[in-house]
Amino acid sequence: MRDRRRCLAARGPAIGNWLRRRTEEAKDEVLAITCKMAEIAGAVLAGAARVAQSSARSLRRRGKAVPARAKATLQELADVAAMLAKVAEQAGQRGAGAMPGGAEGVVSFHDNDARPIRKGRIGKPAEFAYKAQFVDNADGVVLDYEVYKGDPSDASLLVPGMKRIVA
C-alpha cells in the first residue's frame, strides 16, 4: 500500500494559508484542495480494501490458530476505512457545492461521537464535542451528571435531571 501522508500533509497548510485571505477566491481554492484530498483519500481506501481482503484471506487460511490481536487489528482497519469513506464522501459533497449534514457526519477522526454544538459566540459559533449537564448543591457537591451526544436543548434536559436527583 502506498503511503500518501506526505501528499496530504503538503495540502493542510495550504488550506490555512488560503483561509486567512477570507475572499471568494480563497473559498474556491480551499474547495479545490479539499476535493483533491478527497481523491487521495479514495486511493488510500482502495489500497486499504486490498490489504484488508488479503489479510482476511490469510487469517481464514490459518483457521483457529489466528491470534486475537490480528483479528482486532483487521477490525480496526475496517473501522478506520469506514470512517475515512465517510470523510471522503463529505469532502466530495463540499466540492460539489452541497453542505454535508453535521448531525450524522464525521467532525473528528479521533472521536466518532463528537458532534457540532452551536454556542453562538462570534469567534467560535460552533464547537465539536459533547454536551454535559452537571447538577450540584449549595456546597458544590455534584449530585448528578449526564453526558449527551449531539446538542440537545437545555430545556429538554432540566426535567430528566431533576427526576434523577429525586430518585
122 and 82 in a common domain: no
Whose CA is closest to 74, among 60, 87, 88? 60
Q: Average per-residue pLDDT in the chain?
A: 79
**Total structural domains within the chain:** 2
26 and 91 in a common domain: yes
- Amino acid symbol at 141: V
Where does 78-136 show beta strands of DSSP type E? 115-118, 126-129, 131-136
Does residue 101 lie within any of the structural domains?
A: no
Does residue 104 lie within any of the structural domains?
A: no
86 and 24 in a common domain: yes
145 and 81 in a common domain: no
The parent domain of residue 123 ranges over 115-166
- pLDDT digits 0-9 by tens, 23-49: 778 878 888 888 888 888 888 888 888
119 and 70 in a common domain: no
Overall average pLDDT of the 139-162 stretch:
82
Q: pTM, whole model, 2 decimals?
A: 0.57
Does residue 86 lie within any of the structural domains?
A: yes
Q: How many whole angstroms separate alpha carbon 51 and alpha carbon 54?
A: 5
- pLDDT digits 0-9 by tens, 94-120: 777 777 665 667 777 777 777 777 777
121 and 91 in a common domain: no
62 and 23 in a common domain: yes
89 and 13 in a common domain: yes
Does residue 158 lie within any of the structural domains?
A: yes
* Domain final residue, candidates 46, 61, 95: 95
